[in-house]
Amino acid sequence: MKNIISFIENKKIVIWGMGREGISTFNYIRSIYPDMHLTLADSKEIDMTPYPDCDFWDTGARGIDFDGFDYIFKSPGIPVFSPEKIIDRLTSQTEVFLTAFGKNTFGITGTKGKSTTSSLLYHLLKNHDDNTIFVGNIGIPCFDYIDKVDDRTSVVFEMSCHQLEFVRHSPHVGVVLNLYEEHLDHYVTMENYIKAKSHVFSCQDKEDIVILNCSDLETLSVYPRAGRLVTACDGLGENVPADISVSGNTVTVPHGSIEINSGDTCLVGKHNLYNIGVDYYICKEIFNISDDEFRTSLASFRPLAHRLERVGTFGGVTYYDDSISTICRSAINAVKSLGNVGTLILGGMDRGIDYNDLAQFLTTAEIDSIVLVGQTTERMEALFREYGVDRRIKIYPCYYFDKGVEKAKEITAEGKICLLSPAASSYDMFKNFEVRGDEFQRLVKNGNE
């Protein structure tokens, strides 16, 4: 196993956050330095039995100044409201991995689409060259795969804003698919959120590549960009000239184009054609993968769960699980992609995001009914009535998720689609969007199997 943490030898280390990544960090450090004394920090008490020769630091009681520590390995998602106090000692798996393997890495971020785009890219590259790995926000800590990386390995890294927030290195190819209002409960301002995303390219050099959505060029122009710019037009708004573009079913890149028909992929919707287009650029322009090979690999790719996932048809109604949807744009794209939506289930944790775009869309959307659940129920209902949505679409405020799904099953007409695409986070009722999607599927199938 390659030692990429030699800088911590004889240093005092704290691992902050003992979730999956924190445990992974502990295991890697101990594999290199089995006798090193470590401190584990978390806001809740943890069982220290699996962690011999370690101290516990209760961040709820003691705070996070971490006086006396040389390095702080922070897990993603833990908010730091005064980073200037610890910034010189703050590091992470992502930071250390990019320092060692940044030139091998294809880092993909964006408010929406990063999981689909990165998992598809991994599938395409893995079929082309087995020396390919997939790590990051998909749920695989990068330290778990260090022993599989050599100078030729292609690393596909799905990068969340939380993983990028404090990094000082960027991947060789950095992708920002799109930027929408998200995670403001953590970042407070949109500017802070965008700054975190920008780190996927802001520390590149001139030999690197940055792929940016044309819609976000002006927003991201305030951040340094040394890498070669590749522009991408998602075709969801105004069509503008770009290196990667989508027109109809055709994806075009500088040295070719490919038509993607319905039989070529299980991915649906124009937003997914854009995701495919970004991967097509990387495959064709960087790896010289032929169109025939690309098409064959694309056809064998299976979409991730809870992303416009077809649950099944029961009683003449077809159900789709798009629990990953936590913003307006993703819900709008889902409705447009599927068409024939009879009932749309919306709502969840209220993070204060702006729902005006969704309300405006619903004034013309061909939908029969809207079912509202979660903390956002009252705010969404009031906004939709203000826009006059209720004059053409029936609105059912159900609050509770199970009651909402049962109401949707009751009211959706035969031959129509019932779509869960909440445009809200799941954390008011569920651990994460995956659990919400699983519960939706269970409730849909209950009594139908």
Largest CA distance in the chain: 69
More confident residue, 77 or 45: 45
Residue 391 DSSP symbol: G
pLDDT in tens, 326-341: 999 899 989 998 989 9
- How far does CA 141 lie from the centroid of its chain? 15
Q: How would you class 299 by CB atoms within 10 Å of its CB: exposed for 0-12, middle for 13-18, buried for 19 or more?
A: exposed
Provide DSSP, 81-109. Answer: S-GGGTGGGEE-HHHHHHHHHGGGEEEEE
pLDDT of residue 82: 80
Q: For the chain, give the mean pLDDT.
A: 93
pLDDT band at 184 (very low <50, low <70, confident <90, very high): low
pLDDT in tens, 11-40: 999 999 999 999 999 999 999 999 999 999
Mean pLDDT of 126-133: 97
Angle between helices 433-445 and 401-411 (to 10 degrees): 40
> The tokens of 18 are what?
């003992």
Q: CA distances (Å), 391 to each of 185, 364, 376, 387, 388, in order?
A: 33, 11, 20, 9, 5
Q: Do 374 and 440 contact (CB within 8 A), yes or no?
A: no
| pLDDT surpassing 90 at residue 361 | yes
Q: Do 188 and 215 contact (CB within 8 A), yes or no?
A: no
| pLDDT surpassing 70 at residue 406 | yes
Q: Do 13 and 28 contact (CB within 8 A), yes or no?
A: no
| pLDDT surpassing 80 at residue 271 | yes
pLDDT band at 371 (very low <50, low <70, confident <90, very high): very high
Q: Do 166 and 95 contact (CB within 8 A), yes or no?
A: yes
pLDDT in tens, 281-338: 999 999 999 999 999 999 999 887 898 899 999 999 999 999 999 999 899 989 998 9
> The tokens of 6 are what?
């030699």
CA-based nearest residue to 80, from 68, 66, 98, 61: 66
The pTM of the full predicted model, rounded to 2 decimals, is 0.84
Which run of H or of E encompasses 123? helix 114-128
The contacts of residue 75 (CB under 8 Å, 6+ apart) are: 15, 16, 17, 18, 19, 21, 22, 25, 92
pLDDT of residue 263: 86
Q: Do 131 and 152 contact (CB within 8 A), yes or no?
A: yes
> The tokens of 303 are what?
């979409």
The contacts of residue 144 (CB under 8 Å, 6+ apart) are: 24, 28, 135
Q: 331 phi and psi, to 5 degrees?
A: -70, -40
Which position has the token pair 């729902």?
355
Q: CA distances (Å), 392 to each of 186, 376, 398, 440, in order?
A: 36, 21, 19, 26
d(CA 200, CA 176): 8
> The tokens of 254 are what?
């500088």
- How far does CA 398 lie from the centroid of its chain? 28
